[in-house]
Chains A and B, each alone.
Chain A
Amino acid sequence: MSSTALLRAASVSKHFILDARSFAGQRKKAVVKAVDQVSFDIRAGETIAVVGESGCGKTTLMRLLIRLVDVTAGSIWFMDQEVTSLTGKELNRLRRNIQIVFQDPLSSLNPMMNIRNILSEPLLAHTDLRGDALHKRLEELIEMVGLSKAHLWRRPHEFSGGQCQRIAIARAIALNPCLIILDEPTASLDVSVQALILKLLGELQQQLNLTYLFVTHNLSVARCMADRLMVMYLGKVVEEGPVNDLFKSPLHPYTKLLLSSVPSPVPGESLSFSGLLEGGIPSPVNLPAGCRFHPRCPERVSKCAVQEPEMYSINGSRRVYCWLHNSGIRP
């Protein structure tokens, strides 16, 4: 394995088993392949954005990386250590180095605790900082995210959504982690607040030399935040590559359609309603055979319904899972 990758996921899968009983008492077992054989690297210092529609497995993937759920198959290495089998102290050490910021800022903060206690939790659990030293660190943290010392004594309900997200970010950076996973950090915020939070994240990344895994459904946000973009569809990676290349020349039909669905605020640049994706995302229980996207794909060929596409890589920096490129239909 290469030494430049901070985190490497190799064919990671998570299958949930639905064990439902019908009214007649018949048992039916179904498997939801939430994440299916996903592989990727995160290099130190970069930002990788994972995008896709709801139900594509991006949140499950993120939860797998910090072991909030366990993998069904595959392996994850973090700093040259295999993490899928870690327990106890070693797992604690992993979680010290990977922190997470959740989507809904208000519900990720305990309403019974004041901000001082919320921020000191990770420090008490993982470091020896106590008393004055602890308090000094808390004041430093709260100022790093653009709030003031007086805010430490307040409780979450006294803050706006944007301020709560700042507190969640402060908690995530408290232990100087290597990797921060951001799960839709601005999805519930207004655009003017979103701009402030994104800028804060950008500044912190430069200051603290952080690596971000940015999970989002907002392609515009992904574009301005990320170095690399990974597009997921129904638990699979369909395309991955540097952000600018992907936006300029998307290769996979799904990426193309996803990008063309974003309404542009530029007057005159109108949404191409012609090539719209028809229908919704299929049920993850009864996955289509072959390429998972083929029932909705405007460019499908006969092979797509039969065989799952293999990886096709371009210049070593981009990869796409599509038969159009793989079998030479497209250069």
Chain B
Amino acid sequence: MNLLEVADLRVTFTTYKGLVRAVNGVNFNVKEGEIIGLVGESGSGKTVTALSLLRLISEPPGKIEGAIYYRGEDLLKKKMRELNKIRGKDVSMIFQNPGTALNPVFTIGEQITRVISMHRNLTPRQARQEALSILELVGLPHPGRILHTYPHQLSGGMKQRIIIGIALSCQASLLIADEPTTALDVTIQAQILKLLLELRERLKVAIILITHDVGVAAQTCDRMLVMYGGTIVETGPTAAVLSNPRHPYTEGLLGCLPYQVDNVFQLATIPGAVPDMLDLPDGCSFHPRCTYREERCCEMKPSLFNIAEERQSACFMVERGGSDVKHSTIKSS
């Protein structure tokens, strides 16, 4: 059984300008101990997808539809009290900016022990011991001293390590990491990525890594999901997606990367701009910018077609060219 199964997830927000369709029918699953990357540019719906997995979106104005099965139980059908037992214990989350994720008026020790005592039956002394071992686990020197410090006394990299420690303090089996290294320098980023990979090995925790940096995904993820306009446009093992992209958007995105490019004029560009989530184009949401567009792209929304095992692309070209494709399309509403 998959650890997490997301089926036809749709998230909308009612605003005074109209209905924002942030996530439009996302399907994916996460196996135990696997790292999957959710890759996309700003506004592609990756953060909203992640937040809605733990129902961290306020309803209203938001509205989450579909189903999110964690070990076979639908999180969307749970009462808040039941959900709070899962949040931070079985499924926990780390956020982009380590500077704002910790409370500035409590010491690190208080913040770690609070999470532990909320989910586990431990005496204060045991909780403190546990906090010390967590700080050691995430590779911080002098854990005893760090317990008594306040967040402002620590650097960004140290704070992010503590946040990862707090997230894993109750033996979580799924960690949702929303851009965990975006606010950090490359050298610190490499340290944090290394830590995440080590923790995956030691604790067998599955990680959903949200990132806009294809390089980060390439170095850490087993599988990646490329998002655009609130839908997943391509999925597959990381190496396969990167070496042989099968969706025009993925292809365009990889061409934009300035990696090992000696001259700016070698960079590819994607014409146009990301779609307005208030007014998504009919059919495939990428069609206004797509160089391969056909007539039906403007009217029909392509579903994810299978290319190979665990390898899918939401593009009609794949449907035509693939050998084992599923012939079904979803008519756009």
**Beyond A53-B187, A257-B187, is A280–B239 a contact (Cβ under 8 Å)?**
no
Q: Is A110 interfacial (CB-CB < 8 Å)?
A: no
Is B219 touching A271 in the complex (CB atoms < 8 A)?
yes
Is A264 touching B268 in the complex (CB atoms < 8 A)?
no
Is B215 touching A263 in the complex (CB atoms < 8 A)?
yes
Is B269 touching A265 in the complex (CB atoms < 8 A)?
no
Is A195 touching B256 in the complex (CB atoms < 8 A)?
yes
Q: Is A191 interfacial (CB-CB < 8 Å)?
A: yes
Contacts of A262 in B (CB 8 A): 186, 215
0 or 1 for each of A243-282: is its CB under 8 Å from B? (1 = yes): 1100000000000011011111111101101001110110
Is A221 touching B258 in the complex (CB atoms < 8 A)?
yes
Is A263 touching B189 in the complex (CB atoms < 8 A)?
yes
Contacts of A273 in B (CB 8 A): 190, 193-194, 197
Contacts of B270 in A (CB 8 A): 192, 195
Tell me the residues in window 3-57 of chain A with beta carbons closer than 8 Å to chain B beta carbons: 53-54
Q: Is A116 interfacial (CB-CB < 8 Å)?
A: no
Describe B's contact surface by its main secondary structure: helix
Tell me the residues in window 122-168 of chain A with beta carbons closer than 8 Å to chain B beta carbons: 160, 162
Is B215 touching A194 in the complex (CB atoms < 8 A)?
no
Is A264 touching B259 in the complex (CB atoms < 8 A)?
yes
Is B269 touching A196 in the complex (CB atoms < 8 A)?
yes
Interface bracket on B: 35 or more
Bound form: Cα–Cα A251–B214 in Å: 28
0 or 1 for each of B219-248: is its CB under 8 Å from A? (1 = yes): 110000000000000000011101100000
Bound form: Cα–Cα A24–B103 in Å: 26
**Beyond A198-B264, A280-B158, is A261–B258 a contact (Cβ under 8 Å)?**
no
Q: Is B26 interfacial (CB-CB < 8 Å)?
A: no
Is B256 touching A194 in the complex (CB atoms < 8 A)?
yes
In the complex, which residue of chain B has the Cβ closest to the Cβ of A52? B185
Contacts of B242 in A (CB 8 A): 265-267
Of B214, B255, B257, which is in contact with the most chain A CB atoms at under 10 Å from its CB?
A: B257
Is B252 touching A270 in the complex (CB atoms < 8 A)?
no
Least CB distance, A21 to chain B, in whole angstroms: 18
**Beyond A198-B267, A266-B242, is A220–B259 a contact (Cβ under 8 Å)?**
yes
Q: Is A325 interfacial (CB-CB < 8 Å)?
A: no
0 or 1 for each of B252-283: is its CB under 8 Å from A? (1 = yes): 11111111111111111110011000000000
In the complex, which residue of chain A has the Cβ closest to the Cβ of B217? A265
Is B252 touching A263 in the complex (CB atoms < 8 A)?
no
Tell me the residues in window 182-211 of chain A with beta carbons closer than 8 Å to chain B beta carbons: 190-192, 194-196, 198-199, 201-202
* Set A192, A220, A277: member contacting B253, Cβ < 8 A: A192
Of A265, A277, A281, which is in contact with the most chain B CB atoms at under 10 Å from its CB?
A: A265
- Give 26 CB contacts A-B under 8 Å: A162-B273, A191-B41, A192-B253, A195-B258, A199-B264, A199-B269, A202-B264, A202-B265, A217-B185, A219-B186, A224-B266, A243-B262, A260-B190, A261-B190, A263-B189, A264-B259, A265-B214, A265-B217, A265-B257, A266-B260, A267-B240, A267-B242, A268-B239, A273-B190, A277-B187, A281-B185
Which residues of B are at the interface with A, using a C-beta cutoff of 8 A? 41-42, 155, 157-158, 185-191, 193-194, 197, 212-220, 238-240, 242-243, 252-270, 273-274
